[in-house]
């Protein structure tokens, strides 16, 4: 899908600004672009936006190929700043200048503007599909050019890297269309057939299927009520990256792994979901959604151990320390949900439905466990999450996802 910052190929135009004799800096468009890109990479989006606007002023009387990099950069910076209307305007202008993504050059031609518009347009549905398909067509042309030896000025290694990147973008764009059909267009008669065809095509694009594509496959299989096939796809997805360090580029981004956790829960792979969520909160302990999903996940497992519901007897099986497994899970659930609610308020998080569900679960847990003591749950006690245990002998066959008390 579209990137949140300029690609590696964009960095090829970086040059050093040179001071003039009067002590001021006269910057060429290439230098302005390089300066804006550096500011983006160093998390200074407002300053980057100012440089990108200078660049736009400097290239407005130049050919289309010179204008497109500025528009794409302005659009991407605006997305990072949350200025969606402005971003949409920049990408639409770029699409008007290059309606089929055929303008030569790595910085302006091609698919990125279309992929952004697919995600940012307000209509959704067929309009999103329209922009995704434009992006798909542009990427297919670019890949064909790379494979036929038409690209010049790149080493063999650079060609290989670029080819892999473009194929991954193409697979993600195809999956983007699948997601539209599974949400906005699910009512259409051919929705299931389109999803099946597109996800099959996406699976064949890359030399090694990426985790994101496998997640989309799992989502389609879940919608078809093919749970075992979905579980297999999710296991394959996790196997690609679960043993890698967080900074490894092969690890999917945070949002993708949040989606993975949801899919794992839907596929009844709660233990795997908690593995993913534990890692996420270690990487970002301010994620409202990660804490919420962790609390909900433990609540679901407790319900499997005690099918009569969490308001029933939680004594059941006990762990090695003599603690009720159900009770331990419910306390863990309350801890995670309480942390999520505190962060929701402190960060002014906008998802009201998440908050409502978390509050309902906490109220249910209060009825079961009794009032929450000060410092017992949430983030006030300094208690840390120490991982989970998976016990295949849990009654009813449920995964045993258990909080370890520190």
Asked if the structure places residue 373 within a domain, the reply is yes
The answer to the question of residue 346 being in a domain is: yes
Mean pLDDT of 335-341: 96
pLDDT of residue 386: 43
CA atoms of 293 and 281, how far apart (whole Å) = 11
The rounded distance, in Å, linking the Cα atoms of 126 and 116 is 15
- Among residues 321, 343, 338, 290, the alpha carbon closest in space to that of 402 is found at 321
Looking at the predicted structure, is the pLDDT value of residue 76 above 60?
A: yes
The model's pLDDT over 132-189, given as tens digits with 9 standing for 90+, comes to 999 999 999 989 988 887 777 778 888 888 899 999 999 999 999 999 999 999 999 9
Structure tokens at 341: 């609610």
Q: Are 30 and 100 in contact (CB under 8 A)?
A: no
Specify burial of residue 148 (Cβ count, 10 A radius: 0-12, 13-18, 19+). Answer: exposed
Could you tell me if residue 59 is inside a domain? no
* Residue 326 confidence (pLDDT): 76
Say if 332 falls within a structural domain: yes
- Secondary-structure breakdown of the chain: helix, strand, coil percentages, each rounded to the nearest 5: 65, 0, 35
Asked whether residue 291 carries a pLDDT value surpassing 70, the answer given is yes
Q: How far is Cα 118 from Cα 367, in angstroms, rounded to an integer?
A: 46
State the average pLDDT for the chain.
83
pLDDT, tens digit (0-9, with 9 covering 90-100), for 128-143:
999 999 999 999 998 9
CA distance 58 to 78: 19
State residue 304's pLDDT score: 87
Residue 35: which of 47, 43, 23 has the closest Cα? 47
The pLDDT value recorded for residue 147 is: 87
394 — pLDDT class (breaks 50, 70, 90)? very low
- Give the pLDDT score at 317: 55
Q: Is the pLDDT of residue 301 over 50?
A: yes
pLDDT over 80 (residue 361):
yes
Residue 385 has pLDDT above 80, yes or no: no
pLDDT at residue 375, as a whole number: 56
Higher pLDDT, 312 or 161: 161
pLDDT of residue 106: 53
In a domain, 227, yes or no: no
Q: Is the pLDDT of residue 379 over 50?
A: no
**Distance from first CA to last CA of the chain, Å, rounded?**
41
- The answer to whether 69 and 56 have CB atoms below 8 angstroms apart is no
Which residue stretches of 190-269 are H helix?
191-205, 211-223, 227-241, 254-266
Q: Is residue 331 part of a domain?
A: yes
pLDDT at 223 over 60: yes
Give the pLDDT band of residue 244 (cuts 50, 70, 90): very high
Positive or negative, the Cα torsion across 10, 1, 124, 261? negative
- Three-state SS at 169: helix
Q: Give CA separation, 216 vs 209, 324, 386, in Å.
A: 11, 37, 31
Which run of H or E residues covers position 336? helix 325-346
| pLDDT for 399 | 41
Q: Is the pLDDT of residue 381 over 90?
A: no
**How many C-beta neighbours within 10 Å does residue 38 have?**
15
Quick one: pLDDT band at residue 242, thresholds 50, 70, 90? very high
Whether 166 is in a domain gets the answer no
Q: What's the pLDDT band for 23 if we cut at 50, 70, 90?
A: very low
Those residues whose C-beta lies under 8 Å from the C-beta of residue 96, and which sit 6 or more positions away, are: none
| pLDDT the model gives residue 371 | 81
Question: Rounded to an integer, what distance in angstroms lies between the CA atom of residue 179 and that of residue 172?
Answer: 10
pLDDT of 349 strictly over 60: yes
Q: Rounded mean pLDDT of 7-14? A: 41
Closest C-alpha to 404, from 390, 392, 388? 388
Range of the domain at 367: 279-406
Mean pLDDT, range 368-395, rounded to an integer: 52
Domain assignment present for residue 226? The answer is: no
Domain count, the chain: 1
Calpha distance 126→2 (Å, rounded): 18
């Amino acid at each position: 899908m579209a990137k949140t910052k300029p690609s590696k190929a964009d960095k090829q135009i970086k040059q050093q600004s040179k001071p003039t004799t009067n002590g001021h800096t006269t910057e060429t468009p290439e230098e302005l672009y390089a300066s804006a890109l550096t500011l983006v990479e160093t998390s200074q989006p407002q300053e980057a936006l100012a440089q990108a606007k200078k660049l736009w002023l400097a290239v407005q009387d130049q050919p289309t190929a010179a204008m497109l990099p500025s528009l794409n950069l302005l659009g991407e910076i605006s997305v990072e700043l949350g200025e969606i209307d402005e971003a949409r305007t920049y990408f639409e202008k770029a699409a008007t200048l290059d309606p089929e993504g055929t303008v030569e050059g790595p910085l302006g031609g091609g698919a990125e503007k279309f992929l952004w518009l697919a995600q940012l347009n307000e209509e959704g549905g067929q309009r999103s599909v329209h922009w995704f398909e434009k992006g798909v067509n542009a990427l297919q042309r670019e890949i064909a050019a790379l494979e036929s030896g038409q690209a010049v000025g790149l080493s063999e290694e650079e060609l290989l890297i670029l080819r892999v990147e473009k194929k991954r973008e193409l697979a993600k764009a195809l999956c983007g269309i699948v997601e539209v059909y599974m949400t906005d267009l699910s009512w259409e008669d051919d929705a299931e057939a389109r999803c099946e065809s597109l996800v099959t095509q996406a699976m064949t694009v890359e030399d090694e299927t990426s985790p994101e594509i496998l997640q989309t496959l799992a989502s389609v299989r879940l919608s078809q009520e093919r749970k075992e096939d979905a579980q297999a796809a999710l296991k394959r997805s996790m196997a690609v990256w679960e043993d890698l360090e967080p900074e490894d580029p092969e690890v999917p981004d945070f949002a993708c792994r949040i989606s993975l956790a949801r899919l794992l829960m839907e596929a009844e792979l709660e233990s795997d979901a908690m593995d993913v969520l534990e890692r996420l909160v270690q990487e970002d302990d301010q994620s409202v959604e990660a804490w919420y999903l962790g609390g909900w996940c433990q609540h679901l497992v407790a319900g499997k151990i005690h099918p009569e519901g969490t308001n029933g007897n939680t004594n059941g099986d006990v762990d090695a320390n003599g603690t009720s497994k159900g009770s331990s899970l419910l306390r863990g659930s309350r801890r995670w949900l309480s942390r999520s609610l505190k962060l929701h308020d402190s960060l002014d998080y906008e998802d009201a439905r998440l908050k409502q569900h978390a509050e309902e679960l906490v109220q249910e847990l209060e009825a079961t466990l009794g009032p929450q003591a000060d410092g017992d749950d949430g983030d006030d006690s300094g208690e840390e999450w120490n991982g989970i245990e998976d016990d295949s002998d849990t009654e009813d066959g449920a995964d045993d996802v258990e909080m370890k008390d520190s």
